[in-house]
Each structure stands twice: as structure tokens, then as C-alpha cells.
Amino acid sequence: MRISVIGCGYLGAVHAACMAELGHEVVGIDVDERKVADLAAGVAPFHEPRFPELLARGVESGRLTFTTDPSLIADAQIHFIGVGTPQQQGRLGADMSYVDQAIATIIEHTAVREDGAPVLVAGKSTVPVGTAQRLADRLDASGKPFLLAWNPEFLREGYAVKDTLHPDRIVYGLSDDVARGEQAKLLLDECYAKLLAEGSPLVVSNYPTAELVKVAANSFLATKISFINAMAELCDATGGDVTRLAEAIGYDDRIGSKFLQAGIGFGGGCLPKDIRAFMARAGELGVDEALTFLREVDAINLRRRDRAVALAEEAIGGLGGRRIAVLGITFKPDTDDLRDSPALDIANRLWDRGARLAIVDPAAAPRLNERRPEFETPATVEQAVAGADAVMVLTPWKEFVELDPESIRGLVNQPVIIDGRNVLDPRRWHDAGWRYFGMGRGVSV
Ligand code: NAD
């Protein structure tokens, strides 16, 4: 099929490359010239495992192109929308201006085919419920033969290629007009034929359900993380160990062990802004009481950052002039995404309180240098910890989880390890001569 993808960030670029991998002819459009130049040259503009190979293969095959020129989407049979929906400045709700601009681009540049065949607009961005119907009305008003489906995306950064090519599920939100809904479904079925043949479950619904599925999933995940972080607060107050608690409750199938890691909390370009936009939308719909629990989820999450800063301060008796090695600055491993990263927020606060920082991150140092040129970003853990008064693990990259406490013990000024993700073995660090502090692991070892 001929496909366009509007917006080539973490979601759109991966979606475009995966669609080319499935055999489609894909053009990716973005307004960011630098990003497009990289993508068009087959160079990944962000860190995402397996994406560089897929991108290079697609570009080489000639089936995958990238451009800033919207006229090149004219003959696409499906336009996927993958632009950002960030939190509005100073408000909880989502900024929908990029989606609105994308729709305007599609309306302007879609060519009406001689056979009158419909063109499908498939929304992948995460949007407030009610958006799809509003956009469908706008597309209808253009007089061109558009169909609209909402096809939310569930990929996880770090696993984006796997999640796009082998999704846990595919969701289509279709028009209430049955004939048009069926036409849209046929086009999506053709596009995703290989994924469906491999057995990816398909859930077909109306527009609001599909929009809600995405924010409901993210709200559930955020709630699960904040639940265990609330338990971490209780453990800190009582001497309990939240990692043992999580292990024990996780054996219950109804609870499950995933997303039960207490620590510095969730972040990134999705969970925080999605739960806030969901609360804002519930308010507009007059059902804000249904989601007041998300306020607590957000508040518990933000308290984790306060806790990490306080722990550092307590552990080394003040922050001013102290040297702290920060291991990991992204919101999770295997990405270079710094959006709403708890690790970066904590680093900023330590800096504001007078600490001197040396930050190591396997992927995000270039992005961090652009944002905070004043932060020192040594290339190795050994350089970062040299002379440190505390070492803080804030992102559980594999190399930090596997760090050998013996090998770096001799390099630091004070052997204080703060495990912001509860991924280290306290006993092992203690035996190597460190004072260990976890998040909700009771008294320090
Ligand atoms: P992103 O900021 O990485 O990418 C958005 C891209 O859209 C940018 O490259 C930007 O330049 C481009 N853009 C903005 N306006 C444009 C326009 N008018 N025309 C063409 N391009 C335009 O964001 P992202 O992480 O890829 O997220 C995109 C959407 O997908 C959001 O709604 C997000 O909530 C959702 N989502 C993201 C993920 C994820 O893990 N990143 C997962 C699921 C859903």
C-alpha cells in the first residue's frame, strides 16, 4: 500500500520504518528539517534498539522516504498521524495544535483519485476522548472522500520495533456509520495483514472507546507504579522492604509482578502528560470525580523525586559543594528520551541545591549537553565516580545494574550508594564497604 506518516518522532519514525518492513511504500513527513535529513540519509535521530537497521534497510530498498514537503503525501491510501500531543504550558490538558495542523496538511495535500477511492486517515497519537469525532467532522467538511479511524499506539520506547511488528493487541476505533467503518477496517486490515496473520489480537470499537483504551492503559500502569511507591513510603516509615513486599504480592496472578518496582517513579513523554490530560478531559466532560484518584497517582509519583533528593542530603549530610555521580539520566533504559525524566528532575534539584554533578548515561549525553551544557558528562562510570561523595543510580541501564561495587570502591571520596531504582543487591554493596540507601527498603544497610 502507499502510506504516509505525519510526524516522525519516536512513534512516527518507527511506525514508518516498520510499515516499510511489512512491504508498504511509505513517506514520512516532519516539520523538523534536521530530523528529516537524518532519517532520509538512513541515520536514526534518536536511540532506539533495532531501529537503525530497520531504517537503513527501508531507505535502501527505496520503499521508505522522508521529506518536509507535504505535497508528497498526495497519493497515499492511508495517512497515519503520529505528531506530538504534549501537555499545554501551565495547564493539565493536551496541546492539540500539532494534530490540528496535521489534519490541515492532509486535507490540503490529499489528491482526489479518479476512481473516487476513499483515503483513510488513521490517528495514532494519544488524544483526549472526543477528538476523533471532531476530526472526522472536519475531514467530512473538506468535501474529499476521507475515512477516519483511531488506531492508538501502545509501543514502549526501548522495545518500539518489537512492539510495532509484534503488538500485544491492535485497536481500531471506527465510525458509527457502519458502511464507512467497514471500509476503514478493510484498509487497516490490508495494511496490518501480516501482523493479523501472525495472531495479534484485534479489538474493534467505536471512536471514544479506542481513544479511551490508550489513556486507560496508561492510567492503569501509572496507578500500579504509584501504588507500589506508596507502599515504599510505608516501608520507609516502618523498616519494611518494598522489594520483598512487591515480590510477595506479585506472586498473586491477579496482581502480577510487572510494574511493581518502587523507585524514583515514572516519567517520559507519555505517562505523566497522559494522566494529566485525561483528568483535564474528565473535567470538561463533567465527570472529574471519576478520575480524582489520578491526582494522587501524580502526587505520589512527584514525591518520589523529593524523597531521592532528601535521601542524598541525609546520606552525605548536605548537598552544597558535594560531588555526586549520577548514573543514568533518561526516564528508563534503552532510550535517549529526556522528556519529563525523574532522573533529570532530581539532577536539576541537586544542582540547584549546590551539588556538583558528574552524569553518565549510555545514550543521552549528547541530548543532555544540549539542554544543560553546564553539567559534566564524563564518558565512563569510573570517571564519574572519581572523588564522589555519593553515587546515585537513577536509571536502571544494564551496565549500572551490573556494576561491581568492589571495582569502584577505591575511586570515590565517600562510599555512599543511593539506589533510586532498587536494582542493586544491598548486601553485596555493604560487603564491599558501601553505605547503601534504597527507595523504600527500610533502614540503610
Ligand atoms: P515526538 O515529539 O518524538 O514526535 C512528534 C513529531 O511530530 C516531531 O518530530 C515533530 O517535529 C512532528 N510534528 C509536529 N507537528 C507536525 C506537523 N504539523 N507535521 C509534521 N510533523 C509534525 O513524539 P512521540 O513520542 O513520537 O509521540 C507522538 C504521539 O504518540 C503522542 O501523542 C504520544 O503520546 C503518542 N505515543 C508515544 C509513544 C512513545 O513511546 N513515544 C507511545 C505511544 C503513543
What is the value of pTM for the model shown? 0.97
Nearest CA to ligand 1 atom 1: 9
Tell me the mean pLDDT in the region 99-119.
95
Cα dihedral 279, 281, 287, 288 sign: positive
Burial class (CB in 10 A: 0-12, 13-18, 19+), 155: buried
Burial class (CB in 10 A: 0-12, 13-18, 19+), 217: middle
Atom in ligand 1 nearest the alpha carbon of residue 46 = 3
For 368-380, what is each residue's pLDDT tens digit? 999 999 999 999 9
444 has a pLDDT exceeding 90: no
Q: Are 224 and 246 in contact (CB under 8 A)?
A: no
If you ran DSSP here, which 8-state letter would residue 291 be given? G
Q: How far is CA 386 from CA 296, 312, 413, in A?
A: 39, 17, 7
Find the 336 Cα to ligand 1 centroid distance in Å: 15
Atom in ligand 1 nearest the alpha carbon of residue 85 = 32
* Strand, helix or coil for residue 78: strand
Task: Name the residue of 5, 15, 30, 107 whose CB sits within 8 Å of the most ligand 1 atoms, as the mutation to test its pocket.
Answer: 30
Nearest CA to ligand 1 atom 17: 102
Residue 235 known to be catalytic: no
Find the 184 Cα to ligand 1 centroid distance in Å: 23
ipTM of the complex: 0.99
Confidence of residue 443 (pLDDT cuts 50, 70, 90): low
Distance from chain centroid for Cα 153: 11
445 has a pLDDT exceeding 60: no
Amino acid at 18: C
Tell me the mean pLDDT in the region 135-158.
98
pLDDT value for 442: 76
Q: Are 370 and 404 in contact (CB under 8 A)?
A: no
Find the 68 Cα to ligand 1 centroid distance in Å: 15
Distance CA 167, CA 160 (A): 10
Higher pLDDT, 325 or 112: 325
Task: Name the residue of 32, 83, 105, 219 whose CB sits within 8 Å of the most ligand 1 atoms, as the mutation to test its pocket.
Answer: 83
Find the 385 Cα to ligand 1 centroid distance in Å: 36
272 has a pLDDT exceeding 60: yes
Kindly name the residue from 18, 191, 235, 270 that is annotated as catalytic.
270
Amino acid at 333: P
Topology of 220-437 in CATH? Answer: Rossmann fold (3.40.50)
Locate CATH 3.40.50.720 in the chain: 2-200, 220-437
pLDDT value for 19: 98
Question: What is 2-200's CATH superfamily?
Answer: NAD(P)-binding Rossmann-like Domain (3.40.50.720)
Higher pLDDT, 112 or 420: 420
Residue (of 89, 77, 134, 103) closest to 7 by Cα position: 103
Residues 6+ apart with CB under 8 A from 407: none
For 199-249, what is each residue's pLDDT tens digit? 999 999 999 999 999 999 999 999 999 999 999 999 999 999 999 999 999
Measured from CB, residues less than 6 Å from any atom of ligand 1 are 6-12, 29-32, 35, 82-85, 98, 101-102, 105, 125-126, 153, 155, 157, 269-270
For the chain, percent of residues with pLDDT exceeding 70:
99
